[in-house]
């Protein structure tokens, strides 16, 4: 009998993301893994706790983007907020390569990248250390038997609430209606999180939202849905 790898939950957490590489990475971007990434890579979260204040001592705040895709949004926000440390986590290597290109071209010194599972970083960060957490268009895992792989579980929502400073915010965006309902249900029952933003029209984008090429492809079954929460 062949065992289902999904049953091995005790040994390792379920992957909340799909493939980690697709097409070959262009030579110029591949070179940035050796020249640029070592200088802006987040400390290994498996080696011990991460002190956000050590990433950029003069920073006025710390933001975390979980699953930054191609890095367009992360780079845009970093450019808009040069005194804020932007931590980005993404296991998809082609996306990391793209983000490195954006960082280089923008001359961005306030970006720190983790090219792996964001949950390791979440576990390594201290309480009340983040001003904002952003989760934009995470893998939806459509099939009911795969829903347990969705990033935004009750456990992750509780961890996000732990990481946010009082008044800190969470932004969750998806273009799949079922995932929006799933996320809203879990966030609303998470102690310490209070819904904010345009509650009447969850399709209304916040003023500082940056539209990426991925969003413009309209791959989901609904217009983007924005869920905003504040740490009480």
Which pLDDT does position 4 carry in this prediction? 36
8 is in an annotated binding site: no
Residue 200 marked ligand-binding:
no
| DSSP string computed for 122-150 | HHHSPTT-EEEEEEES-----SGGGGGG-
Look at residue 45 and give its three-state secondary structure: helix
Structural domains present in the chain: 24-41+49-231 (3.40.50.150)
Q: What is the pTM of this model?
A: 0.89
pLDDT of residue 15: 53
Over the stretch 161-220, which tens digit does the pLDDT of each residue have? 999 999 999 999 999 999 999 999 999 999 999 999 999 999 999 999 999 998 999 999
Average pLDDT, the chain: 90
Amino acid 10: pLDDT:
33
Active-site entry in 34, 139, 178, 221: 139
DSSP 59: -
44 flagged as catalytic: no
Asked if pLDDT for residue 134 goes beyond 70, the answer is yes
CB count within 10 Å of CB 49 equals 10
Q: Is position 179 annotated in a ligand binding site?
A: no
Say what percent of the chain tops pLDDT 90.
Answer: 81
The annotation status of 143 as a binding-site residue, yes or no, is yes
Q: Is 175 annotated as a binding residue?
A: yes
State the pLDDT at residue 9.
Answer: 30
10 Å CB burial of residue 222 (0-12, 13-18, 19+) is middle
């Amino acid at each position: 009998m062949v065992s289902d790898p999904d049953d091995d939950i005790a040994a390792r957490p379920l992957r909340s993301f799909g493939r980690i590489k697709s097409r070959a990475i262009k030579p110029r971007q591949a070179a940035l893994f050796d020249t640029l990434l070592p200088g802006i890579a987040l400390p290994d979260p498996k080696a011990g706790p991460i002190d956000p204040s050590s990433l950029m001592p003069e920073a006025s705040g710390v933001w975390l983007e979980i699953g930054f895709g191609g890095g367009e949004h992360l780079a845009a926000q970093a450019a808009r907020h040069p005194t804020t440390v932007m931590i980005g986590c993404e296991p998809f290597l082609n996306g990391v390569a793209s983000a490195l290109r954006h960082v280089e071209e923008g001359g961005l010194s306030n970006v720190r990248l983790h090219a792996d599972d964001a949950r390791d970083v979440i576990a390594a960060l201290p309480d009340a250390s983040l001003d904002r957490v952003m989760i934009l268009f995470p893998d939806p895992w459509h099939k009911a038997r795969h829903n347990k792989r969705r990033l935004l579980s009750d456990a992750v929502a509780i961890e996000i609430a732990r990481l946010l400073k009082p008044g800190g915010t969470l932004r969750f965006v998806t273009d799949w209606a079922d995932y929006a309902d799933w996320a809203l249900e879990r966030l609303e029952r998470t102690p310490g999180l209070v819904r904010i933003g345009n509650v009447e029209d969850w399709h209304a984008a916040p003023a500082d939202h940056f539209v990426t090429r991925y969003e413009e492809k309209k791959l989901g079954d609904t217009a983007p849905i924005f869920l905003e929460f504040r740490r009480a």
